Amino acid sequence: MKKPTTFENILIIRTDRMGDVVLTTPAIKALRRAYPAACITILVVPATYDLINGNPYVDEILVDDRVGSHKWLFGFWRLIREIRSKQFDLAIIFHTKRRYNLACFLAAIPYRLGYKNDKYGFLLTHPLNDTRALGQKHEAEYCLDVLKAIDIVNDDLDVFVPFQTQAEAWVLDWMKENNLMPNEFMVVHPGASDPAKCWPTANFAQLMDRLAERYALKIVLIGSPETIPVAAQILRQTRHASEFLNLTGNTSMAQMVSLLKRSCLLISNDSGPVHVAAGVGTNVISIFLRDQPGINAKRWKPLGPTGFVLTRPKAMPVQPDSISVDSTLDLIEQIFQKDNQYEIF
């Protein structure tokens, strides 16, 4: 199918995790600049709704609730009807799934752009070669590359993360309750979607103890409910457990965004929160234990001047403790010296 001269009603599909959604925002911005008069809608999952709600380049948000209204076959047909009713003329499918290639086909969207693969990629009108697994570029750059198929060329990698009013009120109350001001605390996120990405709990415990002894800063643990046992294990291994604040499993997505906005630093495994922190301008250290193409720092590092990475030395074998606590402390000190903000006790 020949590309139309313009598009008026565009659907973006990005239904994977928080980091993926955040790293798509440069492409959303580029799309808006190319089609300023178009109606741009994005389909996300419930967990990432607050990462898009308030994005100035998006007109409408659809949610694929696969445990609720869009569950099973009847729910899938409901989703298709909802998409079809919007009469989109372009679908850009960033999250490669059979579900979405099929849904856009059955919703009769005439121009369907996505990746050529075995996940019903033949249903796309404009399938692209998928080279993401090679890890030769950053994920945000791969997203922008998709737009080249509709003649949009852009290299602006600035990500955008919105804030929600209720979450902003929550974090101000939380700081007041704990007698904290912005930048008087740092955040530690010890969770990840894959255990292979997780720094040992003993390392996190030792790091937190040494930070508590070195800096006049509160340390806050965060994570999803699945990370609660990990946080508990870390606290059992620390000498200063009573001094740390544990919010693991107790913050919404929006609350985490507002919390990170006011933190002086996030220390995390390679995971979604690192991209949120970079997106709100907070210093962030992302610990990368893996160096295979496609899942390494080149593709998934936090973007921007506040993003830093720790990778294992090339001579070190691939093992969980290949990144030392000392090297992490050294990087933290460099960041704080750069900001000229925090003195060691």
Within 13 Å of residue 82, how many CA atoms lie on the same side as its CB? 19
Of 306, 308, 304, give the one whose Cα is nearest residue 288.
308
Distances, alpha carbon 212 to alpha carbons 32, 187, 216, 220, 245, in Å: 45, 12, 7, 11, 12
Confidence tier at 345 by pLDDT (50, 70, 90): very low
Fold of the domain built from segment(s) 165-339? Rossmann fold (3.40.50)
pLDDT of 246-299, one tens digit each? 999 999 999 999 999 999 999 999 999 999 999 999 999 999 988 888 899 999
Domain 9-150 identical in fold to domain 165-339? yes
Name the phi and psi angles at 43, rounded to 5.
-100, 120
DSSP state of 178: T
| 256 φ/ψ sector (left φ>0, alpha ψ -120 to 50, else beta) | alpha
Q: Is the pLDDT of residue 6 over 90?
A: no
Gap between the Cα atoms of 11 and 94, Å rounded: 11
Mean pLDDT, rounded, for 64-80? 96
The CA dihedral of 324, 327, 333, 337, to the nearest 10 degrees, is -160
Higher pLDDT pick, 51 / 195: 51
- Options 3.40.50.2000, 1.10.3720.10, 3.40.50.300, 1.10.10.10; CATH for 9-150 is 3.40.50.2000
Confidence tier at 321 by pLDDT (50, 70, 90): low
Contact 291, 318 (CB under 8 A): yes
pLDDT of 52-62, one tens digit each? 999 999 999 99
pLDDT, position 141: 98
**Percent of residues, the chain, with pLDDT higher than 70:** 94
The CA dihedral of 111, 114, 115, 120, to the nearest 10 degrees, is -70
Contact 55, 162 (CB under 8 A): yes
The residue ranges of every structural domain in the chain are: 9-150, 165-339
218, containing H or E segment: strand 218-221
Q: Is the pLDDT of residue 140 over 90?
A: yes
**Percent of residues, the chain, with pLDDT higher than 90:** 88
